[in-house]
A and B are shown apart, each in its own frame.
Chain A
Amino acid sequence: ETGVTQTPRHLVMGMTNKKSLKCEQHLGHNAMYWYKQSAKKPLELMFVYSLEERVENNSVPSRFSPECPNSSHLFLHLHTLQPEDSALYLCASSQVPPVANTGELFFGEGSRLTVL
């Protein structure tokens, strides 16, 4: 495995379900991110784990719960979601402090979530 891998690629869930998204990075990075991508909207940063500290976007509802057991693995636990939460959820990793100053993010292919 190389790069950033996400599972599952597609997920359909009801509003009362509990599910989790998984992300694994094989790049040796020390920061991992969850982004939400909705049509015609900017990528929305949800959570960052950097140098073992968590930074979160205060506008993210509590029905999204991240977990980062180590620098290579990241989870997003989902419970009692709403239809408006349907989106592509992207995991990314990077090196902190950034190399070459760009702070380049390396993204996975995303998990397409549909909430019925």
Chain B
Amino acid sequence: QKEVEQDPGPLSVPEGAIVSLNCTYSNSAFQYFMWYRQYSRKGPELLMYTYSSGNKEDGRFTAQVDKSSKYISLFIRDSQPSDSATYLCAIRGAQKLVFGQGTRLTINP
């Protein structure tokens, strides 16, 4: 079983839609939950991070962690074409950082 699972997509939605991106993980020792965004021909950049179960909101983005289900989500409200990118979940424990496969997202005008 992979430590972190993420559907690679691709995912294509119309502008203005609500987007839901998800990852599951297997190791309950993981403590920090992050989302990186990677634009085409660029390196990944940290978008959001959370430490505990619950929601964290930043503008149109909401990160959600459910430790009991080992499930994390990133929601994008009022999606824009500029949100088109690959989104990678990353989960960190005491000694290691594990990335998901990344989901390629396209927002169509």
Q: Do A and B associate with each other?
A: yes
The answer to whether A40 and B44 touch (CB under 8 A), given A101-B51, A102-B32, A102-B49, is: no
Interface range, B side = 20 to 34
On whether the beta carbons of B49 and A40 are closer than 8 Å, the reply is no
How many Cβ-Cβ contacts under 8 Å join chain A to chain B? 46
On whether the beta carbons of B101 and A41 are closer than 8 Å, the reply is yes
B46, CB-defined interface residue at 8 Å: yes
**Best-surrounded residue of A41, A102, A103, A107 (most CB of chain B within 10 A):** A102
Within 8 A of A (CB), among B52-86: none
A21, CB-defined interface residue at 8 Å: no
Residue of A nearest to B39 (CB): A109
- Contacts from A to B (Cβ < 8 Å): 4, 40-43, 45, 90, 92, 101-105, 107-110
- Contacts from B to A (Cβ < 8 Å): 2, 4, 6, 8, 32, 34, 41-46, 49, 51, 88, 92, 97-102
